[in-house]
Homo-oligomer: A and B are copies of this chain.
Amino acid sequence: MSKATIYDVARVANVSIKTVSRVLNGEPKASAETRARVMEAARSLNYTPSLSARALSGSRSFLIALVSSGGVSDNAMLYVTELQMGAIQACRAGGYHLLTEYIDLGASDFTALTETLVSTLRVDGVILIPPLCDDPQLLSLLAQRGVTCVRISPTLDGSAEEKWGWGVDIDNYQAAFQMTRHLMDQGHRDIGFIQGHPKHAAAAQREAGYRDALFDGGPIPDRLIQPGLFTFDSGLSAARALLEQPRRPTAIFAANDSMAMAVLSVAYKMGIPVPSALSVAGIDDLPAASVVCPPLTTVRQPVMEMGAAAARFIIDRTAGQVGSYLKKVFDHSLVVRESTAPPT
């Protein structure tokens, strides 16, 4: 009862341990009858193979690491949590397990991290979250060691892209383009924009989408565009800069929800009613987005599915499939809630 090994199963099924191993791993050489006998024995003994033993003797570890960095703060963590949820589910389905590792961005001991991942844990793959997924040093270290990487919302880096692993993302340009058009359709023309973190690829793409959607033949005045860092606090300053202008915009589109919520907060404090005097929109559809007042108009990305796809890619890859897309782009969708309305 305490611990069934492959030997026990072999004895009960009256075959060699190698045959048990074959059956359990779905290898071809095994007659249907033998297979059934082994399965039955395994079930009756409540047998589960030891991960350590499999990893030690075989070439797979059944482990995937999700690496997140300290830089990620406040609400953005929800993004990570949701990704993780998806990854865990995909792992369960594939008999894998998810390790979560954490690294301080400051002390960049990427060598130690890599060594841990490769030598100590021998993970079958790594899921990298921004901004880690865009760090050339880390990426090349991992590539050197032959680690399968999946990058979440990575920078498109042309040539190097391929060797640095698969990626999952949404079409950030389109998302921002559509949101801007949504505001324009409501009649807004004076639409402020809060930029994302300059090192994050999605930030630039979202800004481009905004610019292209808004561009009507004339350039966009500088005063409409304020820098941000994807964090709530950075959104606060940007919102103030936008709203304290003599002729303030009728709508503000922030590059993500955290900053959009900051806009809501500043507007509240300044006594500017949303959406009647100011429309506010974001991107991400954080859980909190539907909870704030008024609920935020935003763009939803299928974060959980992206996490699941990331894990699945690693699992399939390790199992043999070689499929090497450059990256998979997921569908997004506009979520119109109450923070946007035609200007009055």
Binding site for B on A (CB under 8 A): 2-4, 46-53, 55-56, 61, 74-75, 77-78, 80-82, 84-85, 88-89, 92, 97-102, 111, 115-116, 118-122, 145, 232, 258, 261-262, 264-265, 268-269, 287-288, 291-294
Contact = CB atoms under 8 A, between A and B. Distances in A.
A97 B121 CA distance: 9
B291 A292 contact: yes
B97 A3 contact: no
The interface centre, meaning the residue of A88, A258, A288 with most chain B CB atoms within 10 A of its CB, is A288
The interface centre, meaning the residue of A55, A92, A264, A293 with most chain B CB atoms within 10 A of its CB, is A293
A53 B56 CA distance: 6
Given A2-B145, A99-B99, A288-B288, 7 more contacts: A49-B120, A50-B120, A52-B122, A81-B81, A265-B291, A268-B294, A293-B293
Contacts of A116: 48
A100 B84 contact: yes
Contact of A102 (B89, B102, B264, B294): B89
Nearest to A232: B291
B292 A75 contact: no
Given A99-B98, A264-B293, A56 B46 contact: no
In the complex, the 10 A-B pairs of residues with the closest C-beta atoms, listed nearest first: A52-B55, A268-B293, A48-B119, A52-B52, A52-B56, A88-B102, A48-B120, A288-B288, A74-B287, A81-B81
15 contacts: A46-B111, A46-B115, A50-B119, A51-B121, A77-B78, A77-B287, A78-B78, A78-B81, A84-B100, A97-B101, A98-B101, A99-B99, A262-B291, A269-B293, A291-B292
A51 B120 contact: yes
A232 B294 CA distance: 15
A77 B81 contact: yes
A94 to B, nearest CB: 13
Contact of A3 (B48, B52, B119): B119
A56 B122 CA distance: 14
A274 B98 CA distance: 43
Nearest to A268: B293
